[in-house]
């Protein structure tokens, strides 16, 4: 029997299919990441409209047919279009970096409603006055945790000191921090100044909605984002093309 699924989700990416159709990758609450065939989506009068654009939170109705590799999309409605994110270059870049990271770090048909909620929270935060770089840092931290690469931020890997004072070094190979005293025994790592370290601890404990209240020291958000990208690169080999190809637009963020 044909299963009809109705669920909300965030559009991660899409590609053209045939002359007039598209395949859309949506991170949904009920099914996890799915590929949906949207027939006729490229026609000007398509019923799907802007609901298939990346960075859109929408409600999607789709079904699966035997002998087809893809789900077929039958309805799509926009829940949030995140226009403010689209209309501001740095926010667009960081928003695309968020959906790209979600796409690269999640598996198809592996439902994880919390991760979808975290992504939606990041896009919500990008639409406010919050530093977009801080939002990306927060999102990468929670995404890494959700997919099994949570960095150990509380306890020093070398001596077990909890929340060590001063600068800490993060060892990507160990996935954990080491305190200043133990750092020499752990090879190369990313040094986090006290401000960045404390911010990281804070980010690990709060939802994205609270980021607008955060006052950050210059460079701390950049340091955190670099650290998290290095951590993810070490463990998963991912590179975020969005940041690379549109770096010129981002500025100091």
Q: Which residues contact 117 (CB under 8 A, 6 or more apart)?
A: none
Q: Does 246 bind another protein (CB under 8 A)?
A: yes
Upper half-sphere CA count for residue 197 (Cβ side, 13 Å):
24
Stretch that binds another protein, among 1-9, 60-68, 185-193, 238-246 (CB under 8 A): 238-246
What's the full length of the chain, in residues? 253
What is the tally of helices (H) and strands (E) in the chain? 8, 8
x/- contact string, 65-84, with another protein (CB under 8 A)?
------------xx--x-x-
What separation in angstroms does the CA of 149 have from each of 46, 89, 169? 40, 30, 17
Q: Does 154 bind another protein (CB under 8 A)?
A: no
Q: Does 96 bind another protein (CB under 8 A)?
A: yes
Q: Which class for 76: exposed (0-12), middle (13-18), buried (19 or more C-beta within 10 A)?
A: buried
What's the token pair of residue 210? 């609270």
By CB under 8 A, the residues from 25 to 54 that bind another protein are: 44-45, 47, 49-51, 53-54
Question: Would you say 166 or 247 has its CB closer to another protein?
Answer: 247
**Contacting residues toward another protein, per CB under 8 A:** 13, 18-19, 44-45, 47, 49-51, 53-55, 77-78, 81, 83, 86-87, 89, 92-93, 96-97, 99-100, 103, 241-242, 244-246, 248-249
């Amino acid at each position: 029997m044909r299963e009809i699924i109705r669920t909300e989700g965030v559009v991660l990416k899409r590609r053209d299919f045939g002359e007039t159709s598209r395949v859309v990758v949506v991170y949904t609450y009920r099914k996890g990441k799915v590929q949906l065939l949207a027939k006729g989506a490229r026609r000007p009068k398509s019923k799907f409209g802007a609901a298939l654009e990346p960075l859109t939170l929408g409600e999607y109705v789709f079904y699966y047919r035997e002998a087809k590799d893809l789900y077929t999309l039958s309805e799509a409605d926009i829940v949030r279009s995140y226009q403010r994110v689209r209309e501001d270059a740095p926010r667009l870049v960081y928003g695309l970096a968020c959906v790209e990271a979600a796409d690269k770090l999640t598996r198809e048909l592996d439902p994880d409603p919390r991760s979808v909620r975290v992504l939606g929270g990041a896009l919500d935060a990008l639409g406010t006055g919050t530093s977009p770089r801080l939002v990306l840092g927060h999102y990468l931290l929670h995404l890494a945790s959700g997919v099994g690469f949570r960095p150990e931020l509380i306890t020093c890997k070398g001596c077990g000191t909890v929340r060590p004072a001063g600068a800490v070094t993060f060892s990507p190979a160990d996935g954990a921090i080491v305190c200043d005293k133990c750092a020499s025994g752990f090879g190369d790592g990313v040094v986090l100044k006290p401000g960045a370290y404390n911010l990281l601890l804070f980010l690990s404990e709060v939802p994205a909605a609270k980021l607008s209240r955060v006052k950050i020291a210059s460079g701390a958000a950049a340091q955190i984002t670099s650290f998290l990208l290095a951590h993810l690169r070490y463990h998963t080999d991912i590179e975020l093309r969005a940041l690379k190809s549109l770096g010129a637009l981002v500025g100091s963020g």
